[in-house]
Amino acid sequence: MIYTIIALVLLVADQVVKYLVRTGIDLGQSIPFIPHLLDLTFVRNTGAAFSMLEEHTWILILISAVVVVVVAVLTARKVFQGWLGLTAAMLVMCGGIGNLIDRVVLGYVTDMFQTTFMNFAVFNLADCYITVGVVLLFIYVLFFYPEPQKKEVDPHADCDLPGDGT
């Protein structure tokens, strides 16, 4: 239940920040946010990271929806366990839903964080959730995913061997 509450808070934060950027910053305008590190720049992204698949929003909607559903089903089936697995799944789902809302409602994703110390794609909170979630998911799968339980097999359990006469 706590993961659901956290996911809802993160999702609301993502949508509120995007709304504030759309209503408070002109398209393409940059405002210093963290000097020499990060600006707020309103960008309408019709593609994925670095504008890949630009103008193919329907493909990104389909991919996002499938990823969110798959992660939700795997979570419900308890594939992701413990705080690390559940946090990773929650972040990936939350970020996917945040960007999915934008794509379905607006036809584009609202991006706003632009690094000023290097040339990098403009991104948003949902992108941060997805990135951190995927990194945590890799760590979880590589180091903490429980190994399948091996059944102890009695080699003589189902054998009908002839008795020794005793």
Q: Which residues are catalytic?
A: 111, 127
Q: 44-79, pLDDT tens digit by residue?
A: 988 665 555 566 677 878 888 999 999 999 989 998
155 within a domain of the structure (yes/no): no
Name the nearest CA neighbour of 106 among 31, 21, 38.
21
97 within a domain of the structure (yes/no): yes
- Residue 134: give the domain boundaries: 2-144
Let me know the angle formed at the C-alpha of 29 by 57 and 91, rounded to the nearest 5 degrees: 50
Q: What is the pTM of this model?
A: 0.80
Work out how many domains the chain is built from and give that number: 1
75 within a domain of the structure (yes/no): yes
152 within a domain of the structure (yes/no): no
pLDDT exceeds 60 at position 17: yes
